Amino acid sequence: MDTIILNDPIWELAARFALNAVAMTILMFGLYYRRYRDKELATTASMFNVFAFAVLTILSSVEFSIAAGFGLFAILALFSLRSETISKIEICYFFGSIAIAVICSVLGTGLALVGMIVGFVLIAAWLLDHPSILQSAASAKLTLDRIEPHMLADPIQMRVDLSERLGVEVMNFQVIELNYVNDLARLNVFYRT
C-alpha cells in the first residue's frame, strides 16, 4: 500500500485547489450571493476562478514570469467584463475570486502562508462589505418611458421627481443610457425607504 507523501507535487496541487475551492465558495456563495442574490455573477466569478486556477497552475510550472501572467489575466478580465456594465461591488467580488485563484495556484509559497493570506482576504471581504459596518442606500435599475428635459440639466429636480414617482427618498441617481430614438432612459437609482 502506497503512503501519501505530503511533499508530492500532485498532493500539494490538490491541497491548493481544495483551499482555492473552499475560499472561493465562501467568498462568492457565502458572502456575495447571500447578500446580493446575484446568481449570474456568483456563477461567473466562480467559473472564472476555476479557469484562472487551471491556467495559472500550468503557467507556474513552466518558465513564465508572474508579471506576464498578471498581464495576461488583466487583458482577459477587461475583455470579458466589457460586454456588460457591472457595479463596483460586483467588480470587487469578481477580482477577489481571481485573486484567490492566483494566490492558491502559484507554486513556490508554503501552504500555511497561502492559507493565511486567503483567510485574510475572506475576513477583509466579510468585514468591509458587512451591512452593519457601513449603512448604504438601496439601489435599483430603472428604465423610464420618456427622457425628462431636466434629467441632466437639473439633477435636484430630477431627484425630487424620482422620489415622488417611486414613493421613496431618492438620494442619488446615475444616468446609464439615454436613447433618443425610443425616448427611453436607463438609470441607477440610490434610495432610502
Three-state helix/strand/coil letters over the chain: CCCCCCCCHHHHHHHHHHHHHHHHHHHHHHHHHHHHCCHHHHHHHHHHHHHHHHHHHHHHCCCCCHHHHHHHHHHHHHHHHCCCCCCHHHHHHHHHHHHHHHHHHCCCCCHHHHHHHHHHHHHHHHHHCCCCCCCCCEEEEEEECCCCCCCCCCHHHHHHHHHHHHCCEEEEEEEEEEECCCCEEEEEEEEEC
Average of per-residue pLDDT across 29-51: 81
pTM for this predicted structure: 0.52
Give pLDDT tens digits for 147-180.
888 888 999 999 999 999 999 988 888 899 999 9
Give the best-scoring range by mean pLDDT among 96-110, 131-145, 156-170.
156-170
pLDDT, residue 135, reads 56
Average of per-residue pLDDT across 108-121: 82
Band of pLDDT at residue 66, cut at 50, 70 and 90: low
> Between 5 and 146, whose confidence is greater?
146
> Between 121 and 5, whose confidence is greater?
121
Band of pLDDT at residue 138, cut at 50, 70 and 90: confident
pLDDT, residue 26, reads 92
